[in-house]
Structure 1
């Protein structure tokens, strides 16, 4: 089964109407009853609630382009309302995964989320360090395919500018950062174990860019999902043990100092033979455009 790495239940969603809460509960219960039994970490991911597996704590101030997406109205005040990750690619532009902004994740249409923000420089989500910046507008990739996860990117226009030091450059087509074996790092605040143990602090895991052939063998198009080399890149370790997990969706994968991917989907967390799959930045640069101040 293909599973996206967004977060829905580790934070308490505060619906605008009790009816919305009841509908969400009924939907979750029906889904659980109809879902076939799955064992191990893949089962834990079925409700997409998946910080970084096999990682370590990092100073958010040293990585200000790694941001948390927040909505206290939808996810409560605990952990600053974080539900996904993102990356700052321009003074007033951030990117995240398109699936983070779907009704399935938010419970309402994204246009109804009035307090959508990005949080930069806040290592501990239970504190108030760093800066919260309102999102002025959202552009979800019109070619995003929720069935295949192709084109999993959304562009966030920020209400105010961030300093150039908060921007991570994007790796374009043909950049050596995409070569197989290139060391890379993924960042996030999500599940650290695959068992719902979410991190309050920013974490990172060192992984490696994997060959497209390896990713195609891992995800050949069965119930586990299909890897598409034109629009996706995967990263991990052959033996497993390091990976993004639930709650990391939309977060940055960085190699050679450039953004190469956004956390998108995968099966299990850090499982051998199941690398994490990321949106390939070079494939969606036409959607992102040229970030401006």
Structure 2
């Protein structure tokens, strides 16, 4: 949701090695960001691989988004042997084009595929999906969904979630990494291979000032955190929605929304994982 969600409609993307974020308003999947120019999106990032981060996975549908990038439109994160988390807005009618995800018969979870143009890894069917009924598309609060797989992922392919007691993992000034296959320029230039970018977690005061409420959404510290770079230049973008924000080997955020991509005064907003960890646990 970056000023629209950040799924490939709104998903966030990793730009030039740095992740770029979509706006808080929902935009059509696969639609390029229009509020950020090429030099305002993520720069300074670097390529990485699912060998190094096996818990970074993707959602894809060729019938909906085309075959060139395995149909990828959102990111996701494995947090258990059969449990994957992503953004609730990735399962919206706007994103999927259907009211029920079962109707998108080729919807798959892409695991172990660094390069989306390759055939490496696996494409797994979804056994079940729980979309947070408390998700508020007006404020973007509660933007989380839980995917259950039919069989277990390989050992070590999941990452632990931050808990309410892990406040040091998302304190202001903490350095984090964001991952994704999203837009790398803000103009619909989607990455084919996984990228990562370093960002800094900002204070709630800074985030509230950037998003006091309105068309982009409303920053709510109880369920959100925001991150970026002073002066802009590093962020998530369209196509990165649902992807991970990680600190010291622990999942602290899920790419959710923002205004433009990598803009100086508008950091990316993430679902605060510690606030939804208990909800996720109920569906593991």
Please report how far the alpha carbon of residue 234 of structure 1 lies from its aligned counterpart in structure 2 after TM superposition. Answer: 0.5
Rounded to whole Å, the distance in 2 between the matches of 1:257 and 1:277 is: 20
Counterpart residue number, 1:255: 247
- With over 3 angstroms needed to count, the CA separation of the structure-2 counterparts of 1:161 and 1:291, relative to structure 1, is farther
Rounded to whole Å, the distance in 2 between the matches of 1:53 and 1:194 is: 11
- Between stretches 195-204 and 159-168, larger displacement belongs to 159-168
TM-score, structure 2 normalization: 0.86
- With over 3 angstroms needed to count, the CA separation of the structure-2 counterparts of 1:9 and 1:153, relative to structure 1, is closer
What secondary structure does 1:74 align onto? helix
Please report how far the alpha carbon of residue 231 of structure 1 lies from its aligned counterpart in structure 2 after TM superposition. Answer: 0.4
Over the aligned positions, Cα root-mean-square deviation in angstroms equals 2.2
5+ residue gaps in structure 1? 11-26, 29-39, 45-50
Please report how far the alpha carbon of residue 202 of structure 1 lies from its aligned counterpart in structure 2 after TM superposition. Answer: 0.2
Contact 2:127–2:149 under 8 Å retained in 1: yes
Are 2:77 and 1:87 aligned? yes
Rounded to whole Å, the distance in 1 between the matches of 2:44 and 2:92 is: 29
The C-alpha deviation readout for 1:23-45, integer Å capped at 9, x for no partner, is: xxxx98xxxxxxxxxxx95278x
Are 2:62 and 1:72 aligned? yes
TM-score, structure 1 normalization: 0.83
Counterpart residue number, 2:105: 114
What secondary structure does 1:100 align onto? helix
Are 2:99 and 1:98 aligned? no
- Between stretches 223-232 and 154-163, larger displacement belongs to 223-232
Q: Which residue of 153, 157, 161 corresponds with 2:148?
A: 157
Q: Choose 1 or 2 for highest CA Rg.
A: 1
Rounded to whole Å, the distance in 2 between the matches of 1:9 and 1:254 is: 20
The C-alpha deviation readout for 1:101-121, integer Å capped at 9, x for no partner, is: 111111112121222221122
Q: Which residue of 258, 283, 286 corresponds with 2:275?
A: 283
Q: Which residue of 227, 232, 235 corresponds with 2:224?
A: 232
Are 2:43 and 1:42 aligned? no
Contact 2:10–2:237 under 8 Å retained in 1: no
Please report how far the alpha carbon of residue 225 of structure 1 lies from its aligned counterpart in structure 2 after TM superposition. Answer: 2.6
The C-alpha deviation readout for 1:65-109, integer Å capped at 9, x for no partner, is: 011101122222220110100000000000100001111111112
Counterpart residue number, 1:212: 204
- What is the correspondence of 1:183-222 to structure 2 with a 5 Å cutoff? 183-222=175-214
Please report how far the alpha carbon of residue 54 of structure 1 lies from its aligned counterpart in structure 2 after TM superposition. Answer: 3.9
Are 2:128 and 1:137 aligned? yes
Contact 2:140–2:217 under 8 Å retained in 1: no
Please report how far the alpha carbon of residue 223 of structure 1 lies from its aligned counterpart in structure 2 after TM superposition. Answer: 3.4
Please report how far the alpha carbon of residue 222 of structure 1 lies from its aligned counterpart in structure 2 after TM superposition. Answer: 3.4
Please report how far the alpha carbon of residue 240 of structure 1 lies from its aligned counterpart in structure 2 after TM superposition. Answer: 0.7
Counterpart residue number, 2:14: none
Superposition misfits of 4+ residues, deviation over 3 angstroms? 51-54
Would you say how many aligned residue pairs link Structure 1 and Structure 2? 259
- With over 3 angstroms needed to count, the CA separation of the structure-2 counterparts of 1:99 and 1:118, relative to structure 1, is same
